[in-house]
Amino acid sequence: MRNFLKNILYRDIRLTEYTSITLNKNISEKVFLKIADSKIDVSDCHWALCLQPVTFGIWLSNDLIDLSQNKIYKLSFEMKNGRKLAEIRLSAIDEIREKKGTLLLARVDKCKLFHVFAIEAFFLYNVYYRKPGYSFKKFKSYVSAFSYPRKVRLVSFKKDEYYNIFPMDFVGEIGQTNFYVFGLRHTNQALAEIIKEKKIAVSEVPFNYKKHIYQLGSHHSSHLLSLEQLPFKTFESKNFGFPIPEFARSYHEINVTRSINLGSHMLLWGEAKYEETRSADQDHLYHIHFLLDLFLERNGSPYPRI
């Protein structure tokens, strides 16, 4: 019955939790922060940083800092034509203040989805996504968080003989500054050493190395291959000596200055001290939720799936 319904409702669409897509800078979605009567475009300055509970970081420049004194916010995910995809109610939990602005940290209280009718969203959850500990409320918050494409980058670390290279989509680069924010799972075996050494490197990588990128996904918590056993060559970053994949388009070396426990993930905040560009910009790998992929497919404007 499950496959029968899938063939009728979704035909050739591959049902998954997250869809891998590629794009460069042509993102079809916008994200707005609503505070009282203000509506601010935060498409380029908001990031999902934790899943349990779902937590966002939102960068507010100095001219908007007064708005951060509020406690209740809304994030509205919309298409560029104004059609709403999801709306999230948030509560502020913390902030990181810097000279050029403030990173507001806020947790999800409530979500509304508009990708599909409510009955279809509930059907999809019950038939395909439901599992122990994964409530419909949590499902909606995950869908909302990935209703905007999340870029995948590679993070590198090395100390003595130990190293780690792994992909992340909970990474934010704060425009017009040198700051970066990361959300790392507590299960990541490199986390304790990164916090101790206060150093990390992050690489921008093209989507066509997806196979290597996902192979490195097991490096979060599993046994690591030696650098010589990796299916690609690496080189050392200039100052830290961290291993960077040879296919990286660019990389930053970052000094970590602060860490905050958000729940399932640890927030790391840092400042880039060195940047190296090795090749021209190329299309990147992104993740979106299946419900956004389904919405775009039905409206004739899907992203290229990879």
Q: What are the pLDDT digits (tens) for 1-45? A: 455 555 556 666 678 899 999 986 689 999 999 987 788 999 999
| Closest to 9 measured CA to CA, from 121, 99, 95 | 121
What pTM does this model have?
0.92
Q: How many helices (H) and strands (E) does the chain have?
A: 6, 19
pLDDT of res. 9: 64
Instruction: Provide DSSP, 159-184.
Output: ETTEEEEEEES-EEE-TTSSEEEEEE
What whole-number percentage of the chain has pLDDT above 90?
Answer: 76
More confident residue, 24 or 190: 190
Cα distances from 187 to residues 82, 149, 263, 266, in angstroms, run 39, 24, 12, 10
| Closest to 54 measured CA to CA, from 75, 38, 31 | 75
Chosen CATH of 29-148 out of 1.10.10.10, 1.10.340.30, 2.30.110.10, 1.10.600.10: 2.30.110.10
**Rg for the chain, CA atoms, rounded:** 19
Please state the rounded mean pLDDT for residues 196-202: 98
Question: 259 near 267, Cβ under 8 Å?
Answer: yes
114 has a pLDDT exceeding 70: yes
64 has a pLDDT exceeding 90: no
Chosen CATH of 152-282 out of 3.40.190.150, 3.30.70.2860, 2.30.110.10, 3.50.50.60: 2.30.110.10
CA distance 304 to 50: 27
pLDDT of res. 10: 67
pLDDT of res. 238: 98
User: pLDDT class for 223, splitting at 50, 70, 90?
Assistant: low
- The CA dihedral of 24, 30, 34, 37, to the nearest 10 degrees, is 120
More confident residue, 210 or 127: 210
Cα distances from 41 to residues 21, 28, 31, 64, 157, in angstroms, run 23, 14, 6, 12, 34
* Domain span(s) for CATH 2.30.110.10 in the chain: 29-148, 152-282
